[in-house]
Amino acid sequence: MPSSLPVRRLLDLDFADLPLQGMLALLAKRPAEAPFGYIVTPNADHLVRLSRDPALRPLYDEAMLRLLDSRVVARIAGLLGLDAPAVVPGSDLTAALIASLPPDEKVTVLGLPPTALEQLASRTGLRRIAHHNPPMGFDRDPAAFEAAVRFIEENPARYSFLAVGSPRQERVAQAVAARGRGRGVGLCIGASLLFLTGEERRAPGLVQRAGMEWAWRMLQDPKRLARRYLVDSPAIIALLRREARQRKG
């Protein structure tokens, strides 16, 4: 990535400060055969988890790019007098990148059950998808984790979509980058592909722009997401307030 890339620092992370279209143009210029680099898209949940577990920091520090995934975080930061970077949700980036690809472009996907993969191919027209869906808990099984890393290395593509949840996907991406055998760009994008397959419904644009996509997602799957959004993620407010005080002091 160019040294002239604009960045903004927030919560001890340097975020790329480019809107979606600027990011697409930047990635399009990167050669497909370039050494593997990965993109992380932290949202409020990721940032809170990172503050509680510093051992996760290298996963973000070693990323090629960090993109702020949360309009809520950006708005709270602004209200507190902090300059937030441009918001580029991973789901928006994923949809735009895939829409820009010709049908015969090779892509690599880590995650997704076979039925969802079929839907992805059907809805996007992509014909060359290399796919590996690691087993549950693969990040705690050295052999399964190694298989996931090797799959990315052995199936190089301009774009590899890592859709196995955070921080598992970031750990795989970090390992691929550290070994130096992979090529292209790895995108740690969580559930973004599920929106394209129709397996999950994304919030309408108006809800997204209002910063309420988190509430929409929680209502779709309250058993899994209620604690994340109602108990864990609100701690982001305290983190941003502390940063605002430190900068003023």
Q: What is the pLDDT of residue 138?
A: 98
Higher pLDDT, 51 or 3: 51
198 pLDDT band, cuts 50/70/90, is confident
Q: What does DSSP assign to residue 231?
A: I
Cα three-residue angle 172-175-181, rounded to 5 degrees:
115
Mean of all residue pLDDT scores within the chain: 91
Task: Say what the pLDDT of residue 16 is.
Answer: 97
First vs last C-alpha separation in the chain: 33
Nearest-10 Cα torsion for 83, 186, 173, 169: 80
- Listed by start position, the domains of the chain span 7-202
With cut-offs at 50, 70 and 90, classify the pLDDT of residue 129: very high
Rounded distance between C-alpha atoms, residue 56 and residue 171, angstroms: 9
Contact 244, 80 (CB under 8 A): yes
Instruction: Give the pLDDT confidence score for residue 195 in this predicted structure.
Output: 87
Q: Would you say the C-alpha torsion 84, 19, 3, 101 has a positive or negative sign?
A: positive
Predicted pLDDT at 3: 74
